Homo-oligomer: A and B are copies of this chain.
Amino acid sequence: MLLISSKPGHEQVESDLRRNLDGRGRLLQSFAMTAGRRGFLVDGVDDRLDRLAALPSVAAARLVTAPYSLVKREERPAGSTVAFGPSQIGGRDFVLLAGPCGVESRGQLDEVADAALRAGAVGLRGGAFKPRTSPYLFQGLGLEGLRLLAEVRERTGLPVVTEVMTPEDVDLVAEHADMLQIGSRNVQNFRLLEAVGSIDRPVLLKRGMMSTLDEYLAAAEYIYMRGNEKVVLCERGIRGFEPRLRNTLDLAGVALLKRLTHLPVLVDPSHGTGLSELVPDLARAALAVGADGVLIEVHPRPEVALSDGRQSLTPAALEELARSLAPLARALGRDLARLPGRQAEASV
């Protein structure tokens, strides 16, 4: 099967293609891509790859196979990196992203952002649109939450990642955030994957709580094939049978993902365990297992958080965790990523 992307402005690519298929092959799908391009999936003419690639309206063509091709490690053996604000995710440096589960108020967000800065985090997480199991639980501040995140980014320089729950909100969230998160419940919300696949903004795709690794990578491919190559994966725990733990954090899955795909892989030990006292140990294990960073939930007063307080670190606990990560990273031949101009503080 062929994946062909047209050059932007070349509207006639479809007719060009059809003419060159002369009755063989079948155009299965066409779809919007980033940068004004369009993509075309064609079946049955794999042997014409070169000829079709040479069409003037065609930007690129290549063979693809189910369940996924473009995100495979073999495509980029050295691994790919994704820029998030001034930092790179996926390179030598291990990134610490921190923030509250849900944005609750400017005060809460400021307090957490300052703690994140002190700890040496390079990004701020926080939910404005909160997917909640029950319709009767706090659903996030919505647009107001997005605005607060953008304001705090202005103040602190911390780039922001926040969740988008439905295709029609993609533009709105992309206006306010530096990276769009797809939550674990939406890992196979294919229309949403397609929507974030055709914009030019990093995407943090969380693993579903029952995703096999192949299903997960196929979900990433939905985004990647549309031209948005800025995809970051995140293991956040799979569903298991242990009543004492919210999820089962699959660190072997992380080690295997790093071998199967070139995409960066983060770990979320907060959702991964559901217990704040386990978060530091698991964050260190994530670093040791080869992850590219961690996503840590922090709340000034976890006991009154509107969501997920049980798994949130206090600001002080976050700083303590960060202090323990630096020597560990060095022992592994890596370093902690730092925001420019903030090298010194937390690593003392």
Give Cα A136 to B64, complex, Å: 8
Taking the nearest CB of chain B, how far is it from the CB of A130, in angstroms? 10
In the complex, are the beta carbons of A210 and B188 less than 8 A apart?
Answer: no
Tell yes or no: A245 within 8 A of B by CB: yes
Give Cα A239 to B191, complex, Å: 23
In the complex, are the beta carbons of B131 and A188 less than 8 A apart?
Answer: yes
Known contacts: A133-B218, A256-B278. The answer to whether A248 contacts B250 by CB under 8 A is yes
In the complex, are the beta carbons of B133 and A67 less than 8 A apart?
Answer: yes
Give Cα A299 to B21, complex, Å: 30
Contacts of A275 in B (CB 8 A): 256
Taking the nearest CB of chain B, how far is it from the CB of A209, in angstroms? 5
Tell yes or no: A12 within 8 A of B by CB: no
Residue-by-residue, is A215-227 near B (CB-CB < 8 Å gives 1, otherwise 0)?
A: 1001101100100
Stretch at the interface among A51-59, A86-94, A162-170: A162-170
In the complex, are the beta carbons of A136 and B65 less than 8 A apart?
Answer: yes
Give Cα A251 to B209, complex, Å: 17
In the complex, are the beta carbons of B277 and A136 less than 8 A apart?
Answer: no
Tell yes or no: A331 within 8 A of B by CB: yes
Tell yes or no: A289 within 8 A of B by CB: yes
Tell yes or no: A60 within 8 A of B by CB: no
CB contacts under 8 Å to B, within A246-280, are 248-253, 255-256, 259, 269, 272-273, 275, 277-278
Known contacts: A165-B190, A167-B168, A191-B166. The answer to whether A242 contacts B218 by CB under 8 A is no
Q: How many subunits of this chain does the assembly comprise?
A: 4
Tell yes or no: A287 within 8 A of B by CB: yes
In the complex, are the beta carbons of A243 and B212 less than 8 A apart?
Answer: yes
Contacts of A137 in B (CB 8 A): 66-67
Taking the nearest CB of chain B, how far is it from the CB of A319, in angstroms? 18
In the complex, are the beta carbons of B241 and A212 less than 8 A apart?
Answer: yes
In the complex, are the beta carbons of A272 and B244 less than 8 A apart?
Answer: no
Closest to A289 in B: B285
In the complex, are the beta carbons of A281 and B277 less than 8 A apart?
Answer: no
Give Cα A249 to B139, complex, Å: 32
In the complex, are the beta carbons of B244 and A256 less than 8 A apart?
Answer: yes
Tell yes or no: A32 within 8 A of B by CB: no
> Which single member of B28, B243, B330 contacts A138 (CB below 8 Å)?
B28
In the complex, are the beta carbons of B242 and A136 less than 8 A apart?
Answer: no
Binding site for B on A (CB under 8 A): 1, 28-29, 41, 64-69, 131-139, 165-168, 185-186, 188-192, 208-210, 212-215, 218-219, 221-222, 225, 238-245, 248-253, 255-256, 259, 269, 272-273, 275, 277-278, 281-282, 284-290, 324, 327-328, 330-332
30 A-B Cβ contacts within 8 A? A29-B139, A65-B136, A67-B133, A67-B136, A67-B137, A68-B135, A68-B136, A136-B221, A166-B166, A167-B167, A189-B189, A238-B248, A239-B239, A239-B241, A240-B241, A240-B250, A244-B256, A245-B253, A248-B252, A249-B252, A251-B285, A255-B273, A256-B273, A256-B275, A282-B289, A284-B332, A285-B285, A285-B288, A288-B289, A328-B332
Known: A168-B191, A241-B241. 8 other contacts (CB 8 A): A67-B134, A133-B214, A134-B218, A185-B188, A185-B189, A186-B188, A252-B272, A324-B332
